[in-house]
Amino acid sequence: MDPLLPAIEIETTAAPRFSVIWMHGLGADGSDFEPVVPELGLDHGPGMRFIFPHAPAIPVTCNGGYVMPAWYDIISLDSSSRTVDEAGIVRSRQAIRDLMARENQRGVPCSRIFLAGFSQGGAIAYTTALTHAEPLAGVIALSTYMPTQKLIADEAAAVNQALPIFAAHGSEDDVVSIELGIRARDFLTARGHRVEWHEYPMPHSICIEEIHDVGQWLKQAMTGVSNRS
């Protein structure tokens, strides 16, 4: 196993029963979503460990080869598509799986792990969860897209067919167009996945209404996991 990605960790209680691994967007780092935790309204729920990993710094082709934190290289982009480095996606998927394995060692099974991500981080959340060999608790996909439908279709894991998915997008997003988010949603629903879809009047960012909705969704998803246990 390669060294684990460095990460910021926040626990809402001692000995948390659930974990959320939350991936940031291109050019950011794990601190980007750290302030979200107290806004989720989870103070009185089951204990949770939030893990905000830092992506490695790599050259990003679409930004002129500039070195920045990134989960994979983006070769080119336009308003309706992305050309991405699939090998980089696979490497990042493994890095997230390594973090998940550590959560297993800490006493949190995959069935109590949520994967979350914004923009490029959401693409990794989708890819990792939908192709994972063990059932997960759910996916939170914010302002993101499906980076490679073929990889997911070829390696889809039947155990995550019923995976709860919260997907949200800004209607004014000029970085990752809402059309890309809708395309991902439609791909998933066509394959039988349950997707709770939200749109907000915002650009490529998050808003407090969205975070409150994520918090409510997490509460419901955790209740569902607890009822099945």
Query: Which residues are marked as active site?
Result: 119, 173, 204
For the four alpha carbons of 197, 130, 191 and 87, in that order, the dihedral sign comes to positive
Residue 67's Cβ-count burial label (10 Å; 0-12, 13-18, 19+) is exposed
- By DSSP bridging, strand 74-78 and strand 81-84 are antiparallel
Sequential DSSP letters for the chain: -PPPPPEEEEESSSS-SEEEEEE--TT--GGGGGGGGGGG--TTSS-EEEEEEPPPEEEEGGGTTEEEE-SS-EEEEETTEEEE-HHHHHHHHHHHHHHHHHHHHTT--GGGEEEEEETHHHHHHHHHHHT-SS--SEEEEES---S-HHHHHHH--GGGTT-EEEEEEETT-SSS-HHHHHHHHHHHHHTT-EEEEEEES-SSS--HHHHHHHHHHHHHHHHHHHHH-
